[in-house]
Amino acid sequence: MTVLIAYGTIEGQTAKISRFINKVAFGAGYETRLIDVDQLAGPVSLEDVDHVILAAPVHERRHPKPFEEFLERHHDTLSARRSLLLSVSLKAAFQKGQEDARDYLTEMLMRTNFEPDATALVAGAVRPDSYGYFEREIVQHVVMLGQKIDPRDGLREFTDWDALKTTVTAFLGD
């Protein structure tokens, strides 16, 4: 069986998550295909694909446009396969942000008319070295509001790798 792992990334955390998923699926005995939707030059053949795992980050309340376009462009072929969609965000890292994180995912699914078999919210990371002044301020005063974490302290991952492995393994085992 073949698993397609298609992702969009902005700061690199979703790419890291997707590589991790690739290792988990391969380790479970699946053939894998890992693609960054931003690097696609043309259509993707899903002929040999049984399962699809899709992952994209949330920035400014939205998933990347190229990722949403990928879902729209390949809607029928993606819908014909078992699919898991992972929405990666800082909001998903905190109990208070879970509702917002779920809303971002719901809004994207409504825009694309894509209905995956399963979804999951995955906590992302703070990567202040890749932020400009305004991004740092938004992360500190909006996204991290009420948290005892200063994004200026450097890279901080919130991704729960064990939970992610459990989610992926359960999806592939269904």
Residues 56-107: tens digit of each pLDDT: 999 888 999 999 999 999 999 999 999 999 999 988 988 888 999 999 999 9
* Domain range summary for the chain, segments of one domain joined by +: 2-124+159-173, 127-156
pTM of this prediction? 0.89
Query: E-assigned strands of 61-158?
Result: 82-89, 118-123, 125-126, 156-157
Distances (CA, A) of 74 to 66, 114, 117, 173: 12, 10, 16, 24
CATH T-level fold of 2-124+159-173: Rossmann fold (3.40.50)
Q: What are phi and psi of 42, to 5 degrees?
A: -160, -165
Summarize the confidence of residues 122-131 as an average pLDDT.
Answer: 78
Q: Are 67 and 37 in contact (CB under 8 A)?
A: yes
Per the document, the length of the chain is 174
DSSP annotation of 22 = H
Residue 53, burial from CB neighbour count under 10 angstroms (0-12, 13-18, 19+): buried
Instruction: Give 3-41 pLDDT, tens digit per residue.
Output: 999 999 988 999 999 999 999 999 999 999 999 999 987
Work out the percent of the chain whose per-residue pLDDT is above 90. Answer: 69
Q: Are strands 2-7 and 51-57 parallel, antiparallel or unpaired?
A: parallel
The per-residue DSSP string of 78-101 comes to: HHTSEEEEEEEESGGGSGGGHHHH
* Distance (Å, whole) CA 21 – CA 124: 14
Amino acid in position 54: L
